[in-house]
Amino acid sequence: MAEAIIGPLVVKLQELAVSEARALVAVNDDIRSLRDKLMWMQAFLRDADPRRRIVPDEASRVWLHQTRYAAFDAEDAVHQYFLLVDLSREESNPEYNEAVKNGVRNDYQQDIFDTTQGLPLAIVLLSGLLRTKEYPVEWKAVFEHLKSKQSKRLDSILSLCFDDLPYDIKSCVLYFAALPTNMLIEAQDLVCMWMAEGFLRPKEGLTMEKVGYRYLKELIARHLINLEPMDENTPEEELVTIQSEVHAFLQIEAQEVNFVEIHNSDDIPPLSAARRLSLQNRMEKYAALANPMPKLRSILSNFEKEETSKEYDVADEDHEAKVQQSPICLHCSPHGTTTKCKEGDAKSYLRQLLQTYKFLRVINLQGLEVGDKLPNEIGDVVHLQYLAVTSCSLKEIPPSVGRLSSLQTLDVRDTEVKELPVPFWEIGTLRHVFGHRLILPKRVGELKNLQTLDTVKPDDKYGWDRNTLSKMIQLRSLFIWELSKGHEKGLVAALKKLKYLVTLTIHGDSIPSAVFSTKTSLRRLEVMELDGMLIDMPCVEDMDIKSCLPNLLLLSLENTMVSQDFINKLAELPFLASLTLDGGSYKDEQLVFSAGGFHSLRRLTVDLEELKKLEIHESALPKLADLDILIHSNDLNIVILGKNDVVEKLLHEDKILSKKIQRTTRSERTARRIGVE
C-alpha cells in the first residue's frame, strides 16, 4: 500500500530533479566546497553559542548573528543542490541505479508511509521537517525518533516539528495559540504584534519587520502555517491561516509553558500568573478582566462581526433610530449567535484594565465595543507598543495617547475615527499607522521610523506642504485618499525623498503625473494603484517610465484617462506582472497591444465600457495567464493579428467574447496593405 501511495510521487520528483540537474551539475565542486565551509560554521556556532551566554560580549553577539545568517543562506543553497542534482543522477551514476534496484529508495517510501499512514497533514508536516535535514543520516534519525514514540503519529510529528524550530521562531509560532482557529490573519498585523512583544530584533541589514517576514516564510516552508492563495501582492498584504490540528497542539504547548491564557468558555481559569490573555469566549466577554493579573503584558480579543440575526432586524427607519440611541450594543460571535453587553460595562472594564496594568505592551481588541472614545487612561500605559481597536462605535482617540512614547503600531480601521490628536503625530517611535481616511495634519513630528501610512487624506483647511511627508524617509507603504488640486505639490516634493516606497495608492480628483517621472526616484516601487485624473502630463514621448519604475510589478489605473502612447510606454516595464485598466483609465476607443510589449505580464484586466476595439498583435503578451474583460460595449471587436495561442485560449473560455474575435494572418495584412498602396 505504501508503494501505491508514495511511489508515483517519488517517480515524479525524480523526473523533475533529473531535468533540473542538467542545468545545475556544473556547480558541483562549488557546492561541495560550500558544504565543507558550512560544516565548519555549524561547528563554530555549536561551540560559541554556549560560551556567549556565559561571557556576554557585544562583538561576539554581532559576529554570531552574522555567521548564523551566513550559515542559513549556505544551508539553503546546499539543500537546493542536493535535492535537485546530487540525488538525481540516474543516467550518470551507476551506483545510484544499483541502490534504487536494491530498494534503498523504497526504504524511505516505507518509512514515510509507516510514519504517516498516508494522512495528508502528517505527510505535509513531515515534508516540511525533512526539508531542513541535509544528510540521509538525519532523515534516518527523524524516522527512528518518530518510531520510538508511543503517542499518536500526528502528535509525535507535531511535537518534533515544534522542537526542531530555531529558538527565536518558537515564540512566534506559539502566538497563533492566542488567535482563533480557521481565521485569516494579515501578515503585517502578525509581524507588528511579534515586534511589540519583543520577539524580533534587527539583524545585520534587516529591519525588525523583514526579520518577521523571514520567520513567517520559514513557518510556511515548514508547513506549520499556510499562505492563502491570492493575486500578486506584497508580503505585507499576504494572509495566513493555521490548520485546526496544529492550532490545538500549539494551544496545549502555550498553556503548558504559561505563554498565554485563553478564555474560551464560561469557566474562568486562574489568571494571576498570566502574561498574555486571549478572549475567545462568546458569552461574558469581559468577565476575565475582573481578575487580578499583575504580570499581564498583552491582551487580545477576536470576535468576528457579522450581520445581526433576524431577531434584531430593523424594519424601518424609526426603529433603526431607536436602536442607534440604545445603550445596548449587539455583538455577533463567529458561530452566528448574537449576544448583548452594556456599553457602560465595557468602558468601565477597559478603564479598570488601563488603570491597573501599566506594563501592557499589546492591546488588540477586535469586536469589543469600547464606547465612542477611548478612556484618557490609555496615556498611562507608557510601555504600550501595539494598539489596535475594531469597534463600530469608536469615534475619538484622546490627546493623552501622545504620552505613549514607545508606541509602534496604531490600528483604528473599522472604526469611526477620522482624526487623531496632534500629539499622536509627535510620537517618534511610530512605525505603522492604519486607519480609514484619517486626516493627516500639515505639521507632523520627526517620523523617521514610520513605514506604513494607511489611509490618510489632506487637511481640508490647511492641506499639505513639502515638509509634511518628506521627513518620513523610511515609508514603505503610502495610501492617500481625496487628493485634490493644490495638495499635490507637497506630495511631489515628498516623493523625491521617499526612496524606500514599495506600495503607493492614490485616490483623488487630480494625481500628479510626476509619479511616472524620473524625478521622483521611485526605483523600489512594486505596487501602484491610481484612481483620478493624471495632471501636468508632459509629452509622453519624453517620459522614461522604464527608468523611473524599474521594479514595478502591479499597476492599477482608474479615471486616469491615459492614451495609447502611454500604454506603449508601460509596455517597456521589465517586470510588470499585473495590469488593471478600470473605468475611465483609458480615453481612446481602440486599445492596441503591440508585438514585443509587456513581456512579463501574467494578468490583464480590462474594464472599459467605451472601448470599441481591442487589438492584440502576434507575440504580444507572451506570458499572459489570466485575461479578464469585464464590462464592455456590445460593439466591442477583438482583433488578433497573427497567431497568439495564449490569448485565443483565454478568450475562448468566455463564450460571449469568443464570438467577437476576428483573426488576421500575416499574408492577409500584407495583401490589404498592398491593396491600399
| Dist. CA 621–CA 657, nearest whole Å | 18
The reported pLDDT for the residue numbered 343 is: 45
Q: Which amino acid does the sequence have at 417?
A: V
Total-model pTM: 0.77
CATH 3.80.10.10 in the chain, residue ranges:
441-588
- Which of the 8 DSSP states describes residue 426? G
- Residue 61 dihedral angles phi and psi, to the nearest 5°: -60, -45
Choose among 431, 347, 348, 419: nearest CA to 385: 431
d(CA 570, CA 579): 9
**Backbone dihedral angles phi then psi of residue 128, each to the nearest 5 degrees:** -65, -35
CA distance 427 to 406: 8
Residue 670 buriedness (CB in 10 A; 0-12 / 13-18 / 19+): exposed
Of 46, 103, 99, 108, the closest CA to residue 71 belongs to 46
Which residues 6+ apart lie within 8 Å of 518 measured at CB? 544, 547, 548
Q: Which residues contact 5 (CB under 8 A, 6 or more apart)?
A: 113, 118
CB-based contact 411:387 (threshold 8 Å):
yes
Instruction: List 342's β-bridge partners, or say none.
Output: 328
The per-residue DSSP string of 508-522 comes to EEEEEGGGGSGGG--
Residues 6 or more apart whose CB falls under 8 angstroms from that of 605 comprise 578, 579, 580, 581, 582, 628, 630
Give phi and psi for 2, each to the nearest 5.
-60, -40
User: In which region does residue 631 sit, left (phi positive, over 0), alpha (psi from -120 to 50) or beta (all else)?
Assistant: beta
Task: Name beta bridge partners: 456.
Answer: 438, 480
* Closest by CA position to 469, among listed 482, 458, 461, 460: 458
Identify whether 455 is preceded by a cis peptide bond (ω within 30 of 0): yes
What is the Cα–Cα distance from 201 to 194, expressed in whole angstroms?
10
What residue type is assigned to position 664 of the chain? T
671 contacts 647 by C-beta, under 8 angstroms? no
Q: Cα(first)–Cα(last) distance of the chain, in Å?
A: 73
- From the centroid of its chain, how far is CA 314? 37
Q: Which of 611, 542, 551 is nearest to 581 (CA)?
A: 611
Sign of CA dihedral 229, 231, 234, 239: negative
- In whole angstroms, what is the distance from residue 610 CA to residue 180 CA? 47
Distance CA 534, CA 591 (A): 19
Cα dihedral 135/138/140/144 (nearest 10): 180
List all residues 6 or more positions away from 610 whose beta carbon is below 8 Å from its beta carbon: 589, 633
SS (H, E, C) 225-247: CEECCCCCCCHHHCEEECCHHHH
Neighbours of 462 (CB within 10 A): 13
- One DSSP character per residue, 503-572 reads EEEEEEEEEEGGGGSGGG--TT--EEEEEEEEES---GGG--HHHH-TT--EEEEES--B-HHHHHHHTT
Residues of the chain with pLDDT under 50: 1-26, 52-53, 79, 81-105, 306-344, 669-674, 676-677
How many Å separate Cα 106 from the centre of its chain? 39
pLDDT at 583: 92
Helix (H) or strand (E) holding 99: helix 94-101
Distance CA 440, CA 454 (A): 11
Dihedral angle over CA of 580, 585, 589, 593, nearest 10: -40
| Contacts (Cβ under 8 Å, ≥6 apart) of 204 | 62, 65, 66, 69
Dihedral over alpha carbons 397, 403, 407, 410 (to 10 degrees)? 10
> Residue 336 region, left (φ>0) first, then alpha (ψ -120 to 50), else beta?
left
CA–CA distances in Å: residue 412 to residues 336, 357, 567, 610: 24, 22, 38, 39
Cell numbers at 371, concatenated: 464606547
352 neighbors 328 (Cβ within 8 angstroms): no
Q: Indicate left, alpha or beta for 538 from its phi (over 0: left) and psi (-120 to 50: alpha).
A: beta
Q: Which CATH class is domain 441-588?
A: alpha beta
Return d(Cα 611, Cα 637) in angstroms, integer: 9
SS (H, E, C) 357-419: CCCCCEEEEECCCCCCECCHHHHHCCCCCEEEEECCCCCECCHHHHHCCCCCEEECCCCCCCE
pLDDT at 20: 44
3-state secondary structure of 377: helix
Nearest residue to 185 (alpha-carbon basis) of 257, 144, 134, 240: 240
User: What is the pLDDT, as a whole number, of residue 399?
Assistant: 96
> Hey, what's the cell of 538?
508632459
User: Strand, helix or coil at 614?
Assistant: strand
State residue 484's pLDDT score. 84
Q: Which residues contact 634 (CB under 8 A, 6 or more apart)?
A: none
**Kindly report the CA angle at 351 between 287 and 358, in degrees rounded to 5?**
100
The segment(s) of the chain belonging to CATH 1.10.10.10 are: 165-259
* DSSP H or E run through 328: strand 328-332
Grid coordinates representing 45? 556556532
Longest distance between any two alpha carbons in the chain, whole Å: 92
DSSP structure class, residue 270:
P
**Inter-axis angle of helices 104-116 and 2-24, nearest 10:** 130
CATH topology of domain 165-259: Arc Repressor Mutant, subunit A (1.10.10)
Q: What is the pLDDT of residue 254?
A: 92
The pLDDT of residue 221: 93
